[in-house]
Amino acid sequence: MAIDRLLRWLDASSCNFMAVDTIRRELDNAGFTALDPCADWQLEPGGRYYMVRNDSAVMAWICGTAPLAETGARIIAAHSDSPCFKIKPNAEIIGDGGVVCLNVEKYGGGIMYTWFDRPLSISGRVMTAGSDPLNPRTHLVDLRRPVAVIPHLAIHFNRGVNEGNPLSVQKDMKPVVGYYTPDKLRELMLRGGVVRCMVAEHLGIQPEEVLDYELCLYPCEPAAVCGASGEYFQSARIDDLSMAFGALEAMLATADTPCAATRIMAIFDNEETGSGTRQGAASPVLRDIMERITAVETPDDRQSVYKAIARSFLISADDAHAWHPNYNEKYDPTNHPVIGGGPVVKINANCKYMTDARSAAVFRSLCAKAGVNCQVFVNHGDVAGGSTLGNILTSQLDVAGVDVGNAIWAMHSARETAGVSDQADAVRVFKTFYGDC
């Protein structure tokens, strides 16, 4: 079943780096060629390609049977990152009895108290020396076993905990990784610390070889279906890996259908921190790829990239807030999507979303063609709401498009909940977008 595939993808994608690695493997299996930005590109009509940026963003595309300048691109964008705790350098804070806590920094805007008392593991990337100083070697690492926990304070020491409990990242959220004898701790610290020793052992390298790392904690309960009839699924990182994998599934399912237009899947990193990195939606990475495709396909036409962009359409796919039965007052009275109601178009008068009447009409038509119900999200009039990829991307790429997503509960919780039928519906619409061109 498709949902089982999604659950396995979610489990394999424990952080931005692992998500991109999971996607890259699927693309390799489907005959996509990885392109090196430093090399000359040879592109064939109908050819399948991808480019990874910073190990944490991936742009995949299938060249159209017609040049990009003639047809424009059909683009689906999503993001690879989710709120989490990143392990700082010199992470070990040693307490009584040789207990070791990790010094962490909050990444993005997570719901912190959902992280207490869960089995946590560690994943990310570790760098060792490469052929020369400018080219260190990357090792992806995922310990895949519970190695840490953020224990909550007992209620006996904080009787008011259920009446509002402000949390400090620096004080309250430090994960504990275990306790060691003084001799063992001295040995581990001399070799670079508990974290370095732990990941080095997993990778089969020496801790002294680790030049640097980007590692995060992740909840390691597996993704699962729940609900009386199995109508929900729960996992960490549903925002926004459910949409990233929805786009991937649609691209793979339609890859054998010849299409005049170029199909692009753009999975950016760092949406949760504002997209302002070279692997984020505010970077020129996608524009550069489109410019390069037109330079290869239509080298004599100096206007080709502008025509390509003007003829393109973007679906910016990032999950939306589902109506919560316990908090009706938080939602707009007439525009609150529900789990199970189908994909959601996101609309904001102050242009936090790129959706306008024209692009919403395009998405509604795609839903109708796919036989899928479509919902609308608008913020409660007194709530500012969030932002997403669409408008940030348009600062680099002057493209028309729509912000959509599926309705989920507990966005940015350590365990979010979404709808099984919604996921299938989103894939159906994405397939219609990619497969009917």
CA distances from 104 to 16, 46, 141, 272, 321 (A): 17, 46, 18, 17, 28
Give the side-chain half-sphere CA count within 13 A for 376.
15
Which span sits near Zn ion by CB under 5 A: 45-53, 152-160, 255-263, 317-325?
317-325
Q: How far is the CB of 79 from Zn ion (least distance, A)?
A: 6
Q: How far is the CB of 412 from Zn ion (least distance, A)?
A: 8
Answer left, alpha or beta for residue 424, where phi above 0 means left and psi between -120 and 50 means alpha.
alpha
Q: How far is the CB of 78 from Zn ion (least distance, A)?
A: 8
Alpha helices for 269-419 (secondary structure H): 285-297, 304-310, 357-370, 389-394
Which span sits near Zn ion by CB under 5 A: 52-60, 157-165, 249-257, 314-322?
314-322
Torsion on CA atoms 387, 392, 398, 402, rounded to nearest 10: -30
* Cross-strand bridge partners of residue 74: 263, 313
**269 binding Zn ion? (CB under 5 A):** no
Q: How far is the CB of 316 from Zn ion (least distance, A)?
A: 10
Which span sits near Zn ion by CB under 5 A: 157-165, 240-248, 333-341, 428-436?
240-248
**403 binding Zn ion? (CB under 5 A):** no
Among the listed residues 81, 318, 416, 422, the single contact to Zn ion using CB under 5 A: 318
Q: How deeply is 90 buried, as exposed, middle or buried, from its count of CB atoms within 10 A (0-12, 13-18, 19+)?
A: exposed
Which span sits near Zn ion by CB under 5 A: 90-98, 310-318, 366-374, 379-387?
310-318
Q: How far is the CB of 249 from Zn ion (least distance, A)?
A: 18
User: Which helix (H) or strand (E) is 188 found in, with range?
Assistant: helix 182-190
Handedness of CA 89, 90, 93, 98 (dihedral sign): positive
Distance from C-alpha of 178 to C-alpha of 228, rounded to nearest angstrom: 38
Name the residue nearer to Zn ion (CB basis): 240 or 425.
Answer: 240
Which span sits near Zn ion by CB under 5 A: 179-187, 238-246, 282-290, 417-425?
238-246
**239 binding Zn ion? (CB under 5 A):** yes
By CB under 5 A, the residues from 118 to 157 that bind Zn ion are none
**422 binding Zn ion? (CB under 5 A):** no
**240 binding Zn ion? (CB under 5 A):** yes
**CB 215, CB 142: distance < 8 Å:** no
**Contacting residues toward Zn ion, per CB under 5 A:** 239-240, 318
